[in-house]
Protein backbone atom coordinates (compact mmCIF):
# COMPACT_ATOMS: atom_id res chain seq x y z
CA UNK A 1 0.00 0.00 0.00
CA UNK A 2 2.83 2.37 0.74
CA UNK A 3 4.34 1.83 -2.65
CA UNK A 4 0.97 2.47 -4.25
CA UNK A 5 0.42 5.75 -2.47
CA UNK A 6 3.86 6.99 -3.38
CA UNK A 7 3.46 6.13 -7.01
CA UNK A 8 0.39 8.20 -7.69
CA UNK A 9 2.31 11.34 -6.96
CA UNK A 10 5.13 10.13 -9.08
CA UNK A 11 2.89 9.41 -12.01
CA UNK A 12 1.37 12.86 -11.69
CA UNK A 13 4.77 14.48 -11.51
CA UNK A 14 6.14 12.64 -14.51
CA UNK A 15 2.99 13.37 -16.40
CA UNK A 16 3.14 17.07 -15.75
CA UNK A 17 6.67 17.19 -17.06
CA UNK A 18 5.79 15.29 -20.18
CA UNK A 19 2.58 17.24 -20.72
CA UNK A 20 4.55 20.44 -20.50
CA UNK A 21 6.96 19.16 -23.03
CA UNK A 22 3.98 18.68 -25.33
CA UNK A 23 2.85 22.21 -24.73
CA UNK A 24 6.23 23.59 -25.48
CA UNK A 25 6.70 21.78 -28.74
CA UNK A 26 3.25 22.66 -29.98
CA UNK A 27 3.19 25.62 -32.39
CA UNK A 28 4.73 28.57 -30.70
CA UNK A 29 2.22 30.61 -28.78
CA UNK A 30 2.33 34.34 -28.73
CA UNK A 31 3.59 35.66 -25.46
CA UNK A 32 0.98 37.23 -23.23
CA UNK A 33 2.47 40.62 -23.94
CA UNK A 34 1.22 40.42 -27.52
CA UNK A 35 -2.04 38.77 -26.68
CA UNK A 36 -5.05 40.57 -25.26
CA UNK A 37 -6.93 37.46 -24.17
CA UNK A 38 -4.69 34.69 -22.89
CA UNK A 39 -7.59 32.32 -22.40
CA UNK A 40 -8.51 32.06 -26.06
CA UNK A 41 -5.14 30.98 -27.38
CA UNK A 42 -5.71 27.27 -26.86
CA UNK A 43 -8.26 26.88 -29.58
CA UNK A 44 -5.75 28.20 -32.07
CA UNK A 45 -3.17 25.48 -31.52
CA UNK A 46 -2.91 22.33 -33.54
CA UNK A 47 -3.42 19.48 -31.08
CA UNK A 48 -1.85 16.96 -33.46
CA UNK A 49 1.36 18.86 -34.08
CA UNK A 50 3.46 16.62 -31.88
CA UNK A 51 1.83 13.21 -31.67
CA UNK A 52 4.69 11.78 -29.63
CA UNK A 53 4.53 14.25 -26.76
CA UNK A 54 0.77 14.27 -26.78
CA UNK A 55 0.58 10.50 -26.81
CA UNK A 56 3.19 10.22 -24.08
CA UNK A 57 1.18 12.57 -21.86
CA UNK A 58 -2.03 10.67 -22.55
CA UNK A 59 -0.36 7.34 -21.86
CA UNK A 60 0.90 8.70 -18.52
CA UNK A 61 -2.56 9.88 -17.49
CA UNK A 62 -4.19 6.63 -18.59
CA UNK A 63 -1.60 4.65 -16.62
CA UNK A 64 -2.11 6.84 -13.55
CA UNK A 65 -5.86 6.35 -13.76
CA UNK A 66 -5.72 2.62 -14.36
CA UNK A 67 -3.27 2.01 -11.54
CA UNK A 68 -4.59 4.36 -8.89
CA UNK A 69 -8.07 5.74 -9.53
CA UNK A 70 -11.01 4.34 -7.63
CA UNK A 71 -14.33 5.03 -9.32
CA UNK A 72 -16.16 4.25 -6.09
CA UNK A 73 -14.07 6.65 -4.02
CA UNK A 74 -13.81 9.24 -6.82
CA UNK A 75 -10.13 9.82 -6.15
CA UNK A 76 -6.64 8.47 -6.66
CA UNK A 77 -5.11 6.27 -3.98
CA UNK A 78 -3.04 8.80 -2.09
CA UNK A 79 -3.26 11.74 0.24
CA UNK A 80 -6.20 14.00 -0.60
CA UNK A 81 -4.17 16.93 -1.86
CA UNK A 82 -2.33 14.70 -4.33
CA UNK A 83 -5.70 13.79 -5.86
CA UNK A 84 -6.16 17.51 -6.53
CA UNK A 85 -2.80 17.49 -8.33
CA UNK A 86 -3.78 14.42 -10.35
CA UNK A 87 -7.06 16.15 -11.30
CA UNK A 88 -5.14 19.30 -12.23
CA UNK A 89 -2.88 17.24 -14.48
CA UNK A 90 -5.88 15.86 -16.37
CA UNK A 91 -7.33 19.37 -16.70
CA UNK A 92 -4.01 20.73 -17.95
CA UNK A 93 -3.86 17.98 -20.52
CA UNK A 94 -7.35 18.83 -21.80
CA UNK A 95 -6.53 22.53 -21.81
CA UNK A 96 -3.32 22.09 -23.77
CA UNK A 97 -4.68 19.60 -26.28
CA UNK A 98 -8.15 21.12 -26.59
CA UNK A 99 -9.77 17.78 -25.78
CA UNK A 100 -12.37 16.65 -23.29
CA UNK A 101 -11.07 13.10 -22.86
CA UNK A 102 -11.17 13.18 -19.07
CA UNK A 103 -14.12 15.46 -18.44
CA UNK A 104 -16.42 12.73 -17.15
CA UNK A 105 -13.77 11.55 -14.69
CA UNK A 106 -13.06 15.13 -13.61
CA UNK A 107 -16.76 15.80 -12.94
CA UNK A 108 -17.14 12.53 -11.06
CA UNK A 109 -14.08 13.31 -8.92
CA UNK A 110 -15.35 16.78 -8.03
CA UNK A 111 -18.87 15.55 -7.34
CA UNK A 112 -17.60 13.07 -4.74
CA UNK A 113 -14.76 15.11 -3.27
CA UNK A 114 -16.80 18.27 -2.72
CA UNK A 115 -18.67 16.52 0.08
CA UNK A 116 -17.63 17.64 3.57
CA UNK A 117 -14.13 16.40 4.35
CA UNK A 118 -14.18 13.56 6.91
CA UNK A 119 -12.92 15.03 10.17
CA UNK A 120 -13.58 18.54 8.89
CA UNK A 121 -17.35 18.43 8.38
CA UNK A 122 -17.68 21.91 9.88
CA UNK A 123 -15.88 23.28 6.82
CA UNK A 124 -19.13 22.55 4.96
CA UNK A 125 -17.56 20.80 1.97
CA UNK A 126 -16.66 22.37 -1.37
CA UNK A 127 -13.04 21.64 -0.47
CA UNK A 128 -12.99 23.62 2.77
CA UNK A 129 -10.52 21.35 4.50
CA UNK A 130 -8.42 21.21 7.64
CA UNK A 131 -5.47 22.96 6.05
CA UNK A 132 -5.53 26.03 3.83
CA UNK A 133 -3.13 24.54 1.30
CA UNK A 134 -5.34 21.49 0.73
CA UNK A 135 -8.22 23.86 0.00
CA UNK A 136 -5.97 25.91 -2.29
CA UNK A 137 -5.03 23.01 -4.58
CA UNK A 138 -8.66 22.02 -5.14
CA UNK A 139 -9.72 25.65 -5.57
CA UNK A 140 -7.16 26.12 -8.36
CA UNK A 141 -8.45 22.98 -10.04
CA UNK A 142 -11.95 24.55 -9.88
CA UNK A 143 -10.52 27.61 -11.66
CA UNK A 144 -9.26 25.30 -14.43
CA UNK A 145 -12.67 23.56 -14.59
CA UNK A 146 -14.27 26.96 -15.05
CA UNK A 147 -11.80 27.80 -17.82
CA UNK A 148 -12.60 24.53 -19.60
CA UNK A 149 -16.37 24.52 -19.16
CA UNK A 150 -17.33 28.17 -18.48
CA UNK A 151 -19.67 26.70 -15.87
CA UNK A 152 -19.98 29.25 -13.09
CA UNK A 153 -20.70 26.68 -10.43
CA UNK A 154 -16.97 25.88 -10.44
CA UNK A 155 -16.03 29.52 -10.11
CA UNK A 156 -18.51 29.76 -7.25
CA UNK A 157 -16.74 26.94 -5.43
CA UNK A 158 -13.39 28.67 -5.79
CA UNK A 159 -14.93 31.86 -4.37
CA UNK A 160 -16.10 29.94 -1.31
CA UNK A 161 -12.62 28.50 -0.96
CA UNK A 162 -10.96 31.92 -1.18
CA UNK A 163 -13.21 33.22 1.58
CA UNK A 164 -12.46 30.17 3.69
CA UNK A 165 -8.69 30.48 3.32
CA UNK A 166 -8.78 34.22 3.96
CA UNK A 167 -10.45 33.61 7.32
CA UNK A 168 -7.06 32.34 8.42
CA UNK A 169 -5.22 35.55 7.48
CA UNK A 170 -4.16 37.33 10.66
CA UNK A 171 -2.24 40.54 11.23
CA UNK A 172 -0.22 38.95 13.98
CA UNK A 173 2.16 37.21 14.11
CA UNK A 174 4.33 37.97 11.07
CA UNK A 175 2.40 41.16 10.15
CA UNK A 176 0.11 39.13 7.87
CA UNK A 177 -0.23 35.85 5.99
CA UNK A 178 -2.57 32.87 6.24
CA UNK A 179 -2.02 29.96 8.55
CA UNK A 180 -1.50 26.62 6.90
CA UNK A 181 -2.75 24.51 9.81
CA UNK A 182 -6.36 25.37 10.48
CA UNK A 183 -6.86 23.64 13.81
CA UNK A 184 -3.62 24.58 15.52
CA UNK A 185 -2.95 27.95 13.83
CA UNK A 186 0.78 27.65 14.40
CA UNK A 187 2.37 27.74 10.96
CA UNK A 188 2.45 30.46 8.33
CA UNK A 189 4.21 28.88 5.40
CA UNK A 190 5.07 29.46 1.79
CA UNK A 191 2.76 27.00 0.06
CA UNK A 192 -0.49 28.13 1.70
CA UNK A 193 0.25 31.78 0.98
CA UNK A 194 1.43 31.20 -2.59
CA UNK A 195 -1.73 29.25 -3.36
CA UNK A 196 -3.78 32.05 -1.82
CA UNK A 197 -2.14 34.73 -3.99
CA UNK A 198 -2.64 32.53 -7.07
CA UNK A 199 -6.31 31.91 -6.25
CA UNK A 200 -7.20 35.54 -5.50
CA UNK A 201 -5.45 36.77 -8.67
CA UNK A 202 -7.06 34.02 -10.76
CA UNK A 203 -10.51 34.96 -9.44
CA UNK A 204 -9.89 38.59 -10.35
CA UNK A 205 -8.94 37.59 -13.89
CA UNK A 206 -12.22 35.73 -14.32
CA UNK A 207 -14.64 38.15 -12.70
CA UNK A 208 -15.31 41.21 -14.84
CA UNK A 209 -15.09 44.44 -12.87
CA UNK A 210 -13.56 42.85 -9.79
CA UNK A 211 -11.39 45.02 -7.59
CA UNK A 212 -11.51 43.23 -4.24
CA UNK A 213 -9.74 40.00 -5.21
CA UNK A 214 -6.98 41.89 -6.98
CA UNK A 215 -6.41 44.08 -3.96
CA UNK A 216 -6.13 41.03 -1.72
CA UNK A 217 -3.79 39.24 -4.13
CA UNK A 218 -1.50 42.25 -4.45
CA UNK A 219 -1.50 42.85 -0.72
CA UNK A 220 -0.70 39.20 -0.01
CA UNK A 221 2.22 39.29 -2.48
CA UNK A 222 3.57 42.53 -0.96
CA UNK A 223 3.46 40.80 2.41
CA UNK A 224 4.96 37.58 1.07
CA UNK A 225 7.99 39.14 -0.57
CA UNK A 226 8.92 40.93 2.65
CA UNK A 227 7.94 38.10 4.98
CA UNK A 228 11.44 36.65 5.21
CA UNK A 229 10.57 33.42 3.38
CA UNK A 230 12.40 34.55 0.23
CA UNK A 231 16.10 34.15 0.98
CA UNK A 232 19.06 36.10 -0.41
CA UNK A 233 19.41 33.61 -3.27
CA UNK A 234 15.82 34.38 -4.35
CA UNK A 235 14.81 30.92 -3.22
CA UNK A 236 11.88 30.28 -0.94
CA UNK A 237 12.26 28.25 2.22
CA UNK A 238 9.33 26.31 3.64
CA UNK A 239 7.96 28.84 6.11
CA UNK A 240 8.24 31.21 9.02
CA UNK A 241 8.89 30.88 12.70
CA UNK A 242 7.46 33.51 15.02
CA UNK A 243 9.31 35.19 17.85
CA UNK A 244 7.95 36.34 21.18
CA UNK A 245 7.41 39.90 19.94
CA UNK A 246 5.19 38.72 17.06
CA UNK A 247 7.78 39.26 14.34
CA UNK A 248 8.74 36.29 12.17
CA UNK A 249 11.81 34.98 10.43
CA UNK A 250 12.65 32.38 7.81
CA UNK A 251 12.61 28.97 9.50
CA UNK A 252 15.49 27.69 7.38
CA UNK A 253 13.58 24.57 6.30
CA UNK A 254 14.34 23.19 2.81
CA UNK A 255 13.70 24.99 -0.44
CA UNK A 256 11.25 22.52 -1.97
CA UNK A 257 10.68 22.81 -5.69
CA UNK A 258 6.92 23.36 -5.38
CA UNK A 259 7.52 26.40 -3.23
CA UNK A 260 9.53 27.92 -6.08
CA UNK A 261 6.83 26.86 -8.54
CA UNK A 262 3.38 27.93 -7.34
CA UNK A 263 4.50 31.54 -6.88
CA UNK A 264 5.47 31.66 -10.58
CA UNK A 265 1.89 30.86 -11.55
CA UNK A 266 0.60 33.35 -8.98
CA UNK A 267 2.80 36.17 -10.27
CA UNK A 268 1.84 35.39 -13.86
CA UNK A 269 -1.85 35.78 -12.88
CA UNK A 270 -0.97 39.10 -11.22
CA UNK A 271 0.77 40.17 -14.41
CA UNK A 272 -2.31 39.23 -16.44
CA UNK A 273 -4.42 41.29 -14.08
CA UNK A 274 -2.30 44.42 -14.08
CA UNK A 275 0.06 44.24 -17.08
CA UNK A 276 2.73 45.29 -14.59
CA UNK A 277 5.93 43.65 -15.79
CA UNK A 278 7.39 43.92 -12.31
CA UNK A 279 5.46 40.74 -11.46
CA UNK A 280 7.13 38.84 -14.28
CA UNK A 281 10.51 40.20 -13.22
CA UNK A 282 9.91 38.99 -9.67
CA UNK A 283 8.88 35.58 -11.00
CA UNK A 284 11.98 35.34 -13.17
CA UNK A 285 14.24 36.08 -10.20
CA UNK A 286 12.68 33.19 -8.29
CA UNK A 287 12.77 30.82 -11.26
CA UNK A 288 16.39 31.74 -11.94
CA UNK A 289 17.22 31.28 -8.26
CA UNK A 290 15.73 27.79 -8.35
CA UNK A 291 17.66 26.87 -11.50
CA UNK A 292 20.97 28.55 -10.61
CA UNK A 293 24.18 26.51 -10.59
CA UNK A 294 24.39 26.91 -6.82
CA UNK A 295 20.77 25.78 -6.31
CA UNK A 296 20.11 22.63 -4.30
CA UNK A 297 17.22 21.93 -6.71
CA UNK A 298 19.16 21.11 -9.85
CA UNK A 299 21.58 18.24 -10.15
CA UNK A 300 24.86 18.44 -12.04
CA UNK A 301 23.21 16.75 -15.02
CA UNK A 302 20.60 19.53 -15.21
CA UNK A 303 17.73 17.48 -13.78
CA UNK A 304 15.39 18.95 -11.20
CA UNK A 305 15.63 17.19 -7.83
CA UNK A 306 14.14 17.98 -4.44
CA UNK A 307 16.45 17.96 -1.42
CA UNK A 308 14.65 14.97 0.12
CA UNK A 309 16.29 13.41 3.15
CA UNK A 310 17.16 9.89 1.93
CA UNK A 311 14.25 9.33 -0.43
CA UNK A 312 11.29 11.53 -1.31
CA UNK A 313 8.03 10.62 0.48
CA UNK A 314 4.62 10.63 -1.24
CA UNK A 315 4.15 14.37 -0.74
CA UNK A 316 7.64 15.25 -1.92
CA UNK A 317 7.29 13.11 -5.02
CA UNK A 318 4.59 15.44 -6.30
CA UNK A 319 6.69 18.59 -5.97
CA UNK A 320 8.63 18.48 -9.23
CA UNK A 321 5.58 18.19 -11.42
CA UNK A 322 4.08 21.24 -9.71
CA UNK A 323 7.24 23.23 -10.30
CA UNK A 324 7.28 22.18 -13.97
CA UNK A 325 3.65 23.16 -14.46
CA UNK A 326 4.22 26.64 -13.13
CA UNK A 327 7.58 27.17 -14.82
CA UNK A 328 5.76 26.36 -18.05
CA UNK A 329 3.11 28.99 -17.23
CA UNK A 330 5.81 31.62 -16.68
CA UNK A 331 7.70 30.51 -19.76
CA UNK A 332 4.62 31.14 -21.91
CA UNK A 333 4.05 34.57 -20.40
CA UNK A 334 7.50 36.05 -20.97
CA UNK A 335 8.95 36.50 -24.44
CA UNK A 336 11.61 34.19 -25.82
CA UNK A 337 10.73 31.02 -23.88
CA UNK A 338 13.73 31.17 -21.52
CA UNK A 339 12.79 27.95 -19.68
CA UNK A 340 11.82 25.81 -22.64
CA UNK A 341 15.12 23.95 -22.97
CA UNK A 342 15.17 23.13 -19.25
CA UNK A 343 11.62 21.77 -19.40
CA UNK A 344 12.27 19.75 -22.51
CA UNK A 345 15.45 18.27 -21.11
CA UNK A 346 13.63 17.24 -17.94
CA UNK A 347 10.64 15.84 -19.81
CA UNK A 348 12.90 13.77 -22.06
CA UNK A 349 14.84 12.51 -19.07
CA UNK A 350 11.65 11.56 -17.21
CA UNK A 351 10.42 9.75 -20.30
CA UNK A 352 13.58 7.85 -21.09
CA UNK A 353 15.00 7.21 -17.62
CA UNK A 354 12.15 7.27 -15.10
CA UNK A 355 9.39 5.50 -16.95
CA UNK A 356 8.42 1.87 -16.67
CA UNK A 357 7.91 1.39 -20.41
CA UNK A 358 5.54 -1.55 -19.98
CA UNK A 359 3.21 0.23 -17.57
CA UNK A 360 3.85 3.87 -18.45
CA UNK A 361 4.24 4.71 -14.76
CA UNK A 362 6.94 7.13 -13.71
CA UNK A 363 9.41 7.21 -10.87
CA UNK A 364 11.20 10.28 -9.50
CA UNK A 365 14.86 10.12 -10.33
C1 LIG B 1 -22.97 31.36 -8.52
O2 LIG B 1 -23.20 32.18 -7.40
C3 LIG B 1 -24.03 33.29 -7.69
C4 LIG B 1 -24.01 34.20 -6.48
O5 LIG B 1 -24.23 33.50 -5.31
C6 LIG B 1 -25.42 32.79 -8.05
O7 LIG B 1 -26.28 33.87 -8.36
C8 LIG B 1 -25.29 31.89 -9.26
O9 LIG B 1 -26.54 31.32 -9.57
C10 LIG B 1 -24.28 30.79 -9.03
N11 LIG B 1 -24.07 30.11 -10.28
C12 LIG B 1 -24.10 28.78 -10.40
C13 LIG B 1 -23.97 28.24 -11.77
O14 LIG B 1 -24.18 28.04 -9.45
Cα(153) to centroid(ligand 1), Å? 6
Q: Is the pLDDT assigned to residue 27 strictly greater than 90? A: no
Cα(88) to centroid(ligand 1), Å? 23
Q: Give the model's confidence band at 140: pLDDT under 50 very low, under 70 low, under 90 confident, else very high.
A: very high
Q: Give the model's confidence band at 150: pLDDT under 50 very low, under 70 low, under 90 confident, else very high.
A: very high
Q: Give the model's confidence band at 117: pLDDT under 50 very low, under 70 low, under 90 confident, else very high.
A: confident
pLDDT in the model for residue 15: 64
| Mean residue pLDDT across the chain | 88
Ligand 1 contact via 152 beta carbon (within 6 Å): yes
pLDDT in the model for residue 357: 87
Q: Is the pLDDT assigned to residue 296 strictly greater than 60? A: yes
Cβ burial of 45 (10 Å; 0-12, 13-18, 19+) is: middle
Q: Is the pLDDT assigned to residue 35 strictly greater than 90? A: no
Q: Give the model's confidence band at 17: pLDDT under 50 very low, under 70 low, under 90 confident, else very high.
A: low
Q: Is the pLDDT assigned to residue 10 strictly greater than 70? A: no
Which range, of 135-139, 286-290, 361-365, averages the lowest pLDDT? Answer: 361-365
Which range, of 35-49, 180-194, 231-245, averages the lowest pLDDT? Answer: 35-49
Q: Which atom of ligand 1 is nearest to the CA of 151?
A: 13
For residues 199 and 342, what is the distance between their CA atoms, to the nearest angstrom?
27
- SS3 letters across the chain: CHHHHHHHHHHHHHHHHHHHHHHHHCCCCCCHHHCCCHHHHHHHCCCCCCHHHHHHHHHHHHHHHHHHEECCCCEECCCHHHHHHHHHHHHHHHHHHCCCCCHHHHHHHHHHHCCCECCEHHHCCCCCCCEHHHHHHHHHHHHHHHHHHCCHHHHHHHHHHHHHHHCCECCCCCCCCECCECCCCCCCEHHHHHHHHHHHHHHHHHCCCCCHHHHHHHHHHHHHHHCCCECCCCCECCEEEECCCCCEEECCCCCCHHHHHHHHHHHHHHHHHHCCHHHHHHHHHHHHHHHCCCCCCECCCCCECCCCCCCCCCCHHHHHHHHHHHHHHHHHHCCCCCCHHHHHHHHHHHHHHCEECCCCEECCC
Q: Is the pLDDT assigned to residue 1 strictly greater than 90? A: no
Mean pLDDT value of segment 300-316: 91
**Where do the domains of the chain lie, and which CATH numbers do they carry?**
5-362 (1.50.10.20)
Q: Which atom of ligand 1 is nearest to the CA of 152?
A: 13
Q: Give the model's confidence band at 42: pLDDT under 50 very low, under 70 low, under 90 confident, else very high.
A: very low
Q: Which atom of ligand 1 is nearest to the CA of 155?
A: 1
| Verdict on whether the full-model pTM lies above 0.85 | yes
Ligand 1 contact via 153 beta carbon (within 6 Å): yes
Pocket test residue of 114, 150, 156, 160 for ligand 1, highest count of atoms within 8 A of CB: 156
- Which residue's CA lies nearest to atom 3 of ligand 1? 156
pLDDT in the model for residue 277: 98
* Predicted confidence (pLDDT) per residue in 154-179, tens digit: 999 999 999 999 999 999 999 999 99
- Which residue's CA lies nearest to atom 4 of ligand 1? 156
Mean pLDDT value of segment 122-142: 95
Q: Give the model's confidence band at 20: pLDDT under 50 very low, under 70 low, under 90 confident, else very high.
A: low
Cα(276) to centroid(ligand 1), Å? 31
Of 32 and 229, more confident: 229
For residues 111 and 105, what is the distance between their CA atoms, to the nearest angstrom?
10
Q: Is the pLDDT assigned to residue 352 strictly greater than 70? A: yes
Ligand 1 contact via 98 beta carbon (within 6 Å): no
Cα(152) to centroid(ligand 1), Å? 7
For residues 27 and 54, what is the distance between their CA atoms, to the nearest angstrom?
13
- Which residue's CA lies nearest to atom 13 of ligand 1? 153
Ligand 1 contact via 156 beta carbon (within 6 Å): yes
Which range, of 82-86, 231-235, 302-306, 354-358, averages the lowest pLDDT? Answer: 354-358
* Predicted confidence (pLDDT) per residue in 312-325, tens digit: 888 899 999 999 99
Pocket test residue of 142, 152, 161, 203 for ligand 1, highest count of atoms within 8 A of CB: 152
- Which residue's CA lies nearest to atom 2 of ligand 1? 156
Cα(142) to centroid(ligand 1), Å? 14
Mean pLDDT value of segment 12-26: 56
Mean pLDDT value of segment 10-15: 63
- Report the candidate in 284, 300, 286 with the shortest Cα–Cα distance to residue 337: 284
Cα(151) to centroid(ligand 1), Å? 10
* Predicted confidence (pLDDT) per residue in 46-102, tens digit: 443 334 888 899 999 999 999 999 999 999 987 899 999 999 999 999 999 999 999
Mean pLDDT value of segment 212-218: 98
Mean pLDDT value of segment 193-206: 98
Ligand 1 contact via 277 beta carbon (within 6 Å): no
Peptide bond into 173 cis (omega under 30): yes
- Which residue's CA lies nearest to atom 10 of ligand 1? 153
Amino acid sequence: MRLTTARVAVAAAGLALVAHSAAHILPRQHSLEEQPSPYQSLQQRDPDAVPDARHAAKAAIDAMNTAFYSQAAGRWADTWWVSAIALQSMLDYMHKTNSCDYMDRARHTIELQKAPVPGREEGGGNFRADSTDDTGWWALAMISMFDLTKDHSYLNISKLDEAYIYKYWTKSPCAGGVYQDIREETYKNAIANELYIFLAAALHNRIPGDKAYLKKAEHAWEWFKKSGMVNIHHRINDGLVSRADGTCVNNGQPVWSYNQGVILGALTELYRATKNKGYLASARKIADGALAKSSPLVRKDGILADPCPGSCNGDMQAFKGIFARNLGVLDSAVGGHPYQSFLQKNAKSAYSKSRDAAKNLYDVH
